[in-house]
C-alpha cells in the first residue's frame, strides 16, 4: 500500500506560519490564577509582592491563544466553525515562567486526520521570550470539526510522545483525590484571560450550541486540574488532557490521581452529574535535575 500523501490543500495549510506577540504584566498572572480558583489566602499566586509569587504552570496555554486561533481552517471540506470542538490540549513548560514581559508565538498546522464524519486538526505553537529568544512553552491543540471528514486522508496520527499518550488509569486505589467547587462566576472571570467565546457567557449562544446555560472553558478545567496535580505532587513539566465532557460553572470538579514513577495520570469529573470531563490525562513531574522555580 502506498504511503499516505497530504492533499495539496493540507500541504499548503502546513506551510502557513502565524506569529503573534503577547504582552503581559503581574496583573495578568493574578487574573489567570484567580480564574482557575486561586484564593486570597494563597499569596504566592494572588499577591505580586509575595516572595514566591508565580504563575500557575498552566498559564502556558494563555499566551498562545491568539496565534492558534488565527490559523485558518477554511481549506477543510464543508468547514463550519460552529461545528468545531476542542478535543485535546498538550502543554510543555520549557523554562521558568516570567511573571511579566513580551512573548512571541509561532503557530502552524502539525497534523490533519480524516475521521470519516469529522476532521481532526492538530496545531503546534512555540512561545518564546521576545528579547532572548528562549523557548518558554510549547502547545499542541487538537480540534475536531464535525462534517469536514471524508477527504480520504490519513486516519491515524503519529506518536507524539507525551502529547498523544493514552494515559490509562491503573486498576488500583488512587494516590490522591482533590475536590474543588467552581463558582457561578468562574467562566465570566476566566474569559478575561483571553478566551472571549460567547459560549461561556451568553445564555442564548449556549442554547444554540445545545447547552442549558453557558459552560466553563475546557482550558479552565485543565487549569484547575493542573493546580490539583501541583498541590498533590509538586511541579510538572508537561500536561496533556482530552476534553470529554462539559462543566457548568458552580459544579464541583474532582481530580483523581495515580502516580506512576515520574508521571501523574488523572481524570477529572463533574461531581454532581458524575460526568468525566478530562480523560487520557497525564502530567510529567519535574525531576531534581530539571527543577526550576515556576
* 93 catalytic per annotation: no
Same domain for 90 and 188, yes or no, is no
Q: Of residues 87, 194, 200, 238, which has the active-site annotation?
A: 200
Same domain for 223 and 100, yes or no, is no
Q: Is 151 helix (H, G, I), strand (E, B) or coil?
A: coil
* Overall domain count for the chain: 2
So what's the pLDDT on residue 2?
44
Q: What is the rounded distance in angstroms from the CA atom of residue 143 to the CA atom of residue 206? A: 19
Q: Of residues 37, 218, 223, 282, which has the active-site annotation?
A: 218
| Average pLDDT across the chain, whole number | 94
Q: Of residues 18, 35, 136, 195, which has the active-site annotation?
A: 195
Give me 282's grid cell.
Answer: 497525564
pLDDT tens, 14-33? Answer: 999 999 999 999 999 999 99
CA distances from 6 to 3, 71, 148, 151, 235 (A): 10, 18, 15, 10, 39
Contact of 257 with 236, CB cutoff 8 Å: no
Helix (H) or strand (E) holding 155: none
So what's the pLDDT on residue 289?
46
So what's the pLDDT on residue 82?
82
CATH number, position 9: 3.10.129.10
Residue 81 pLDDT level (bands cut at 50, 70, 90): confident
Sign of CA dihedral 286, 292, 293, 294: negative
pLDDT tens, 110-119? Answer: 999 999 999 9
Confidence check: pLDDT of 145 > 80? yes
Residue 213, Cα to own-chain centre: how many angstroms? 22
So what's the pLDDT on residue 209?
85
Beta bridge partners of 180: 253
Give me 186's grid cell.
Answer: 468562574
Confidence check: pLDDT of 98 > 80? yes
* 218 catalytic per annotation: yes
Beta bridge partners of 141: 89, 123
Contact of 227 with 200, CB cutoff 8 Å: no
Residue 291 pLDDT level (bands cut at 50, 70, 90): very low
Q: Of residues 215, 217, 223, 238, which has the active-site annotation?
A: 215
Same domain for 208 and 230, yes or no, is yes
128, 158, 188: which is the final residue of a domain?
158
* Full-model pTM: 0.95
Same domain for 61 and 170, yes or no, is no
* 195 catalytic per annotation: yes
The boundaries of the domain holding residue 25 are 1-158
* 86 catalytic per annotation: no
Amino acid at each position: 500500500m502506498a504511503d499516505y500523501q497530504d492533499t495539496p490543500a493540507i500541504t499548503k495549510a502546513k506551510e502557513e506560519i502565524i506569529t503573534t506577540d503577547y504582552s503581559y504584566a503581574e496583573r495578568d498572572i493574578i487574573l489567570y490564577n484567580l480564574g482557575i480558583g486561586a484564593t486570597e489566602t494563597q499569596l504566592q499566586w494572588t499577591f505580586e509582592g509575595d516572595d514566591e509569587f508565580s504563575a500557575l504552570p498552566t498559564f502556558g496555554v494563555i499566551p498562545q491563544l491568539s496565534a492558534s486561533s488565527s490559523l485558518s481552517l477554511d481549506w477543510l471540506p464543508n468547514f463550519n466553525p460552529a461545528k468545531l470542538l476542542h478535543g485535546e490540549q498538550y502543554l510543555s513548560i520549557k523554562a521558568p515562567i516570567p511573571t511579566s514581559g513580551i512573548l512571541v508565538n509561532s503557530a502552524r498546522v502539525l497534523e490533519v486526520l480524516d475521521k470519516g464524519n469529522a476532521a481532526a486538526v492538530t496545531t503546534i505553537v512555540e512561545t518564546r521570550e521576545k528579547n532572548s529568544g528562549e523557548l518558554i512553552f510549547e502547545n499542541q491543540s487538537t480540534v475536531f470539526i464535525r462534517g469536514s471528514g471524508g477527504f480520504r486522508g490519513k486516519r491515524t496520527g503519529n506518536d507524539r510522545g507525551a502529547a498523544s499518550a493514552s494515559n490509562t488509569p491503573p486498576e488500583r486505589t488512587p494516590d490522591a483525590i482533590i475536590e474543588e467547587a467552581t463558582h457561578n462566576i468562574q467562566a465570566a472571570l476566566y474569559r478575561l484571560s483571553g478566551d472571549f467565546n460567547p459560549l461561556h457567557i451568553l445564555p442564548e449562544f449556549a442554547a444554540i450550541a445545545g447547552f442549558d446555560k453557558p459552560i466553563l472553558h475546557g482550558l479552565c478545567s485543565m487549569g484547575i486540574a493542573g493546580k490539583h496535580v501541583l498541590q498533590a505532587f509538586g511541579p510538572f513539566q508537561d500536561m496533556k488532557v482530552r476534553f470529554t465532557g462539559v462543566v457548568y460553572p458552580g459544579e464541583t470538579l474532582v481530580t483523581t490521581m495515580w502516580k506512576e514513577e515520574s508521571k501523574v495520570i488523572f481524570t477529572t469529573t463533574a461531581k454532581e452529574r458524575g460526568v468525566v470531563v478530562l480523560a487520557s490525562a497525564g502530567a510529567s513531574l519535574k525531576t531534581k535535575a530539571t527543577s526550576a522555580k515556576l
